Structure 1
């Protein structure tokens, strides 16, 4: 495991994955509010049109399904995602790399707390897929199917106070009161963060960027 603090070095590492033969898949993981989506978007913006993004959040189970399963109040926990479906799409992305096939993925809309199917198109021109999510390194089936499909996994590790502040602010931005946001960030989210932290040592790179 390597600790990286340089944005330039991370960009060079991702560029090397993009430029090698065949399609590569880079995983970015970390606790809720760590900055995974921000890093993935920055890499895609800097590395150009041959880089695609696949957020794991698109594989949230719907609120209706979660309510039926009695898991609505734990949304974001490992068993509130279609992990097998996520792994299956990653597998298809690897297989379709040279077959001229366009694959479609769901996108999660935080303002609605729901995913919409087939909103993300990943065509044959995509040489590097950057996928980000909480549970890329989680052991046990079905999540354990994910890691073998990733060429590298980066674990984003910001200052903990900063992470929690970001998380509370995000919940407020999407409609929670400050009290509700703080309770969720320090309750459900924090239990998930503790689980994710146990996977840190199996990452290829631990990312510690300023701010």
Structure 2
């Protein structure tokens, strides 16, 4: 399902897909993100949205994940944050966590989206939810847990049968430690808090116990490339999430972003291009295949 962002006063047609003939109904939609929330459990509705005197057709098929698309990225951040706050407010048990798995190819904007949504959730929380939960006084109701910290150490790559290949393919699924990530998520579920590793890009290795997800963090966005894979340990990791989000982006656009990132960090252009074709693009293709496992698709928008 694709849902466009529009004002509270926009008018739309809704058609219901069923064995019966199609019926068109004129309605005034509420704010779009609340509307999306109400439709998240039923994926049999399409929306025809009229904007600027032109009709934009937005459609879905049964069992497809809803798609979030906005006129600007800030609207997407705001809507996703407003989606999460009521869920956090409904949790009376302080040990409970609502864990979101956010996946997408390199260059999709996962880290930025996760941090911006978390920042907005924390900003909204005192305004909308503090009266509903007297046990939580910290403004940090939400937190980000990046998958980057679960890279294998360089020394572990050195110990592989083909160290040169291992370093060249760093970032592929087999250069991570999914068992450790799964262990962290299980501890978070059972104990309500966990220490997790971060990743030091200056030295190229994880930093153990550098991130603390506290018992007060009711919403945790775990972001990383392979979180929605459906094979091996990754499949068990995906089962730990209450919601599974995927950022959809044109692969050529995402590779251009990664190329700029490589060059900005000091790689010569020819080396950066080689790495894209040898490692980043094959990884992205694998990640894009996991989009089918998402509950919510987020359209990537240029910043």
Per the alignment, residue 289 of structure 2 pairs with 198
Contact in 2 for aligned 1:107/1:116 (Cα 8 Å) = yes
Are 1:28 and 2:102 an aligned pair?
A: yes
Per the alignment, residue 116 of structure 2 pairs with 42
* Secondary structure in 2 matching 1:85: helix
Are 1:17 and 2:81 an aligned pair?
A: no
Deviating runs (4+, > 4 A) in structure 1? Answer: none
Change (3 A) 1:151 1:180: same
> How far apart, in 1, do the equivalents of 2:89 and 2:259 lie?
38
Q: Which has the higher helix share?
A: 1
Q: Matches of residues 51-62 of structure 1 in structure 2 within 5 Å?
A: 51-62=142-153
* Count of aligned pairs between the two proteins: 207
CA RMSD of aligned residues (A): 1.4
Deviation at 1:19, TM superposition (A): 2.7
Per the alignment, residue 173 of structure 1 pairs with 264
Contact in 1 for aligned 2:109/2:300 (Cα 8 Å) = no
* Secondary structure in 2 matching 1:76: coil
Are 1:77 and 2:172 an aligned pair?
A: yes
Contact in 2 for aligned 1:14/1:43 (Cα 8 Å) = no
* Secondary structure in 1 matching 2:159: helix
Q: Which moved more, 1:65-74 or 1:154-163?
A: 154-163
Contact in 1 for aligned 2:263/2:272 (Cα 8 Å) = yes
Are 1:89 and 2:184 an aligned pair?
A: yes
Change (3 A) 1:209 1:141: closer
Change (3 A) 1:209 1:139: closer
Deviation track 1:28-50 (CA, whole Å, cap 9, x = no partner) reads 10111111001001011111111
Q: Which moved more, 1:9-18 or 1:115-124?
A: 9-18
Deviation at 1:182, TM superposition (A): 1.6
Larger Rg: 2
Change (3 A) 1:177 1:17: farther
Structure 2: unaligned runs, 5 residues or longer: 1-64, 71-75, 123-139
The higher-RCO structure (CA 8 Å, 6+ apart) is 1
Are 1:189 and 2:264 an aligned pair?
A: no
> How far apart, in 1, do the equivalents of 2:84 and 2:253 lie?
25
